[in-house]
């Protein structure tokens, strides 16, 4: 039987991809190795998005918990290192977005207190927003599945083409091609239906 230290030495010599494969098989040592390999650098990276170190450390730790819990999908990840960086970035951007949303809601409540529009106008505005959302969803539904995924990663998740190509394991040209398809579909739908 191997000693614990020799097992960890063996794991340390494995590539990130090999460790991800072992995590898929529920190997806790592999998760611990990936954690030790990237935790500090991911925290350093995270500080560029969030100045509160406690929040950064919590979000980075969440990424590793998420990795362990999503072990069935690990085979989809072709480039582990960029994947970890992008997930950390997204988690921290969610945090920033949440804080902005909270401030916006607080400001909106304050504004509403001082200048509350009539209830009829609120209902009309809400209906207009719902119509607008349905139109956008209808257009997005026309985009081919892979192109829509890449479009959403680019426009909603604000990932760069290079990051998308690394996460999905495709070339940048493929990402560009799918984006062109998505944008052309949107343009055609808007013109065809005079949506907006």
Question: For residues 187 and 181, what is the distance between their CA atoms, to the nearest angstrom?
Answer: 10
Q: Residue 107: what pLDDT?
A: 60
Q: What is the mean pLDDT of residues 37-50?
A: 88
Q: Tell me: do 91 and 156 sit in the same domain.
A: no
Q: Tell me: do 60 and 27 sit in the same domain.
A: yes
Q: Tell me: do 84 and 104 sit in the same domain.
A: yes
Q: Tell me: do 123 and 106 sit in the same domain.
A: no
Q: CATH number of the domain that 145 lies in?
A: 1.10.10.10
Q: What is the mean pLDDT of residues 86-113?
A: 64
Closest CA to 94 of 149, 39, 158: 158
Domain ends where: 88, 116, 144? 116
Question: For residues 87 and 66, what is the distance between their CA atoms, to the nearest angstrom?
Answer: 10
Rounded to two decimals, what is the model's pTM? Answer: 0.50
Per-position b or e across 141-179, b if 16+ CB within 10 A of its CB? eebeeebbebbebbeeeebebebbbbbbebeeebbeebb
Q: Which domain holds residue 150?
A: 118-196
Q: What is the mean pLDDT of residues 110-121?
A: 57
Q: What is the mean pLDDT of residues 32-39?
A: 94
- Checking if the pLDDT of 59 tops 80, the result is yes
Q: Tell me: do 34 and 1 sit in the same domain.
A: yes
Q: What is the pLDDT of residues 120-159, one digit of tens each?
A: 667 777 777 777 777 777 878 888 988 888 888 888 777 8
Q: Tell me: do 15 and 37 sit in the same domain.
A: yes
Q: What is the mean pLDDT of residues 100-129?
A: 61
What's the number of domains the chain is made of? 2
Question: For residues 54 and 191, what is the distance between their CA atoms, to the nearest angstrom?
Answer: 49
Q: Residue 195: what pLDDT?
A: 44
Domain ends where: 99, 116, 133? 116
Q: Tell me: do 102 and 130 sit in the same domain.
A: no
Q: Residue 196: what pLDDT?
A: 44
Q: Measured at the alpha carbon of residue 97, what is the angle toward residues 86 and 101, in degrees to the nearest 5?
A: 165
Q: Residue 26: what pLDDT?
A: 92
Q: What is the pLDDT of residues 71-83, one digit of tens each?
A: 778 878 888 888 8
Q: What is the pLDDT of residues 158-180, one digit of tens each?
A: 788 998 888 888 999 999 999 99
Q: Give the Cβ contact number of residue 60 at 10 Å.
A: 24
Q: Tell me: do 127 and 110 sit in the same domain.
A: no
């Amino acid at each position: 039987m191997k000693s614990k230290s020799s097992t960890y030495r063996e794991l340390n010599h494995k590539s990130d991809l090999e460790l991800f494969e072992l995590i898929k098989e529920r190997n806790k040592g592999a998760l611990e190795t990936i954690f030790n390999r990237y935790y500090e650098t991911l925290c350093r990276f995270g500080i560029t998005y969030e100045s509160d170190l406690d929040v950064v450390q919590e979000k980075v730790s969440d990424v590793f918990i998420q990795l362990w819990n999503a072990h069935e999908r690990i085979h989809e990840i072709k480039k582990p290192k960029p994947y970890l960086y992008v997930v950390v970035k997204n988690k921290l951007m969610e945090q920033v977005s949440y804080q902005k949303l909270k401030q916006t809601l607080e400001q909106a409540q304050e504004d509403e207190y001082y200048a509350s529009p009539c209830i009829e106008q609120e209902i009309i505005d809400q209906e207009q927003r719902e119509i607008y959302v349905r139109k956008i969803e209808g257009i997005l539904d026309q985009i081919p599945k892979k192109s829509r995924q890449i479009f959403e990663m680019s426009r909603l998740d604000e990932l760069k083409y290079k990051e998308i190509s690394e996460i999905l394991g495709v070339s940048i040209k493929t990402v560009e091609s799918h984006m062109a398809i998505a944008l052309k579909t949107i343009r055609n739908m808007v013109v065809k239906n005079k949506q907006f």
